[in-house]
Amino acid sequence: MDTPAKNVVSVLGALLAAGSPALAQKTAFPVAVSENKRYFVDRNGDPVFWLGTTQWQLFREYSLDEARIILERSAANGIEFVQVMLLGVGDGTAANVHGAKPWINDDPLTPNEEYFKNVDAVLKIAGDNNLAISMTMYHQRYRNCITLEKARPWARWLAERYKNVPHIVWSMTPQAKEEFVPVLRELAAGLREGDEGRHLITFKPDPSPYSSSFIHEEDWLDFNSMQTWKDVKLIYPMVTNDYGLKPVKPVLMAEGAYEAGSEYGFEVTPLWIRRQAYYSYLAGAHHTYGHNDSWRVLPTWKEALDAPGAVQLGIMKRIFLARCEWWLLVPDQSVFASGGQTAGEVLCLAARHRDGQWAMIYLAEKASFSVNMDKMAAAGVSAFWVNPKTGDAAPAGTFPNSGQRSFSTPDGWEDALLVLEATESPTSPKDS
């Protein structure tokens, strides 16, 4: 790099100079699965970066004006997916803030139009803000109402109502037990009958930690979702397991520890939030974030929309989008000559472009390591550091794509990202 080391540049400057698609590009919903089954695409076939947020109570506990604030702020921070429980947290029978219960006499076969008019209005706001709603239409706590006999007609009615709303992904949340498989199949059948396959279907078990792979081969399951609760150490092995399954399906780490959460026995800091996300993406998955104050609808929910973790994941998204063909990411620990770490809570992970156009190395704390430079496709390699907390970038040197090269994370950083870019012409080793 010709830029002096002291000239620290922002992500929106140096990273976008890589010639990547514009960050402001709008998604053309509906979302579908890519041809190689690793990521999501819009109806034009263009890749969609799944960065989600969690607003379980959006349809039930927030007014329409409050929902608008939530969705507008989420979009401004780079979110494209919002996961919501259609009937809210609990057994599914509670009224919304307007006093409307979802079903008459708590019967899924007699839906209450007043409740769903509010859902319609929130969905309209989401679409206006280019957000997709990952809608949990079944939770294991709803099972006393949504029985095996009622599951298919309930799902069919719901899918028919929203079949022309493109920005929906259907989700279900059972326990990870075989006894729930029959109701999942009935729900999926009803959804397919109602919307003719226009929307993707997934499910995420609750409670954690098991991934959805125990019925991985079901044709209706378009992608796997998982939660790890407080166990950040489970993200890499669970994602790696599902990434390697056949048939190939996208993987979503849909729920981890919530920022500022109080129930885990430790403080969920912005660093913890960044680790969860980088572990997910570099292992080959997609990721959804959450804040404690939002899903619990605490008085501080509005301030939480711009919490440090949420803002820093927006930075992370920009880093990925700035990579040429970011969607062709391949997890690859062999990028490390030494210093890779895949077990425990503090990891050092690497991924690269399928054809070696770039590599990304995430260090969850201060670390020294070495890289196999021949993983890059071109004769020259340009390296730079990015601070995941701030988005600031600094040059790390230019090198040939041969041999090994040692690096140490910059002083004073909590975590760090090293980005390697293939250059068209050979360069001589040069530390900036």
pLDDT in tens, 308-353: 999 999 999 999 999 999 999 999 999 999 999 999 999 999 999 9
Measure the CA angle with vertex 393, ends 325 and 253; round to 5°: 50
pLDDT in tens, 148-167: 999 999 999 999 999 999 99
Strand 416-423 with 358-363, pairing: antiparallel
What mean pLDDT is reported for the chain? 92
Beta-carbon contacts of 224 under 8 Å, excluding residues fewer than 6 positions away, are 202, 211, 212, 213, 216, 242, 245, 249, 250, 251, 252
pLDDT in tens, 115-149: 999 999 999 999 999 999 999 999 999 999 999 99
Q: List C-alpha distances in Å: 380 to 14, 376, 402.
A: 18, 8, 9
pTM surpassing 0.85?
yes
What pLDDT is attached to residue 341? 98
pLDDT in tens, 80-105: 999 999 999 999 999 999 999 999 99
**Mean pLDDT for the stretch of residues 183-211:** 95
- Of 350, 341, 288, 348, nearest to 313 by C-alpha is 288
CB atoms within 10 A of CB 343: 9
Which domains occur in the chain, in start order?
A: 22-321 (3.20.20.80), 328-423 (2.60.40)
- Token pair of 285, please? 């998955």
Q: What percent of the chain has pLDDT over 90?
A: 88
